[in-house]
Every structure is written in C-alpha cells, then in structure tokens.
Amino acid sequence: MDVRCRPNSFTPLSQLPMGSSKFSHCFAAQQDQLLTDVNAAAVTYQGAVRQGTQADQAHAWQQWQFWGQSVGISNSPFLRGNTTANKRQLRGAFSMTVHNGWFSGDIQHPLAESTVRNTVTNVAQTFWDHGK
C-alpha cells in the first residue's frame, strides 16, 4: 500500500511496506509514534510535490509571457481574439522555442522532449486554470 495516497487517514501498521511483524517487539506507544511519523512524512511529501508543481507552472508561464513579448503578443497572453488555428500555431512556435533552448542559455543540443512537454503542459494548465 502506498502511504502517500492516504495522508489524512490512519494507516495501520500492518499495511506499511515494512509490515507489522518487524515491529512486534515495540511497545504500542512506539508503534503509534512510528505511524504518526510515517503519516506526517506522507503529508509533507505531498505538500512539497504540490509546491514544486506550482513553481514549475509559474516558471513556464513567465517563459510564455517573455516569449509573447518578444513576438508582439504580450497584450493578450491568453490569445484572446485569435482563431483556434492561430492559437495552435502560436503554441507550436512557443514549443519549438523551448525545444531549441531559447530560455536555457547557451546549450549545444535541443532540450529533451519531456522538458518541452512539461513546460507546454504547465502553460496549458495556466490557460485551463483561468478558463481560457
């Protein structure tokens, strides 16, 4: 069982990956403390993942806005007034800009597909969050 999936609930010792038999020699209070610590770690982990995701999304949005300024679309970062086809072309152009490392300084090779995908996904998520 993955403890991280249930941060707000009590995880029985028997369902921890390490199993309860390894802790049968411990007092009940010690087992309770272990469970408390494991569950607290799971909650902390989830918070850290959420914060990292938000930071990545904010960074990608900054890149989108910076790129938009460079190509003259900074007055409408959500591409209002553009056709669907035009929006698709602009998103594709931004993707290629990310792929070619425009935001990454002096690089010798194009960025990995997963880096481009994550950046574009984060920009798309910002569009989604704002109902655009």
116 is written with which tokens? 């481009």
pTM: 0.57
| Range(s) of the domain holding residue 33 | 3-129
Give 52-73 as a 3 state SS string. HHHHHHHHHHHHHHHHHHHHCC
Instruction: Give the pLDDT confidence of 20-30 residue by residue, as tens digits.
Output: 566 666 667 77
CA distance 88 to 118: 17
Pick the residue with more confidence: 107 or 96? 96
Least Cα distance to 100 among 87, 91, 109 occurs for 109
**Residue 1 has what pLDDT?**
39
Number of domains comprising the chain: 1
Cα dihedral across residues 6, 8, 9, 12: positive or negative: positive
pLDDT exceeds cutoff 50 at 121: yes
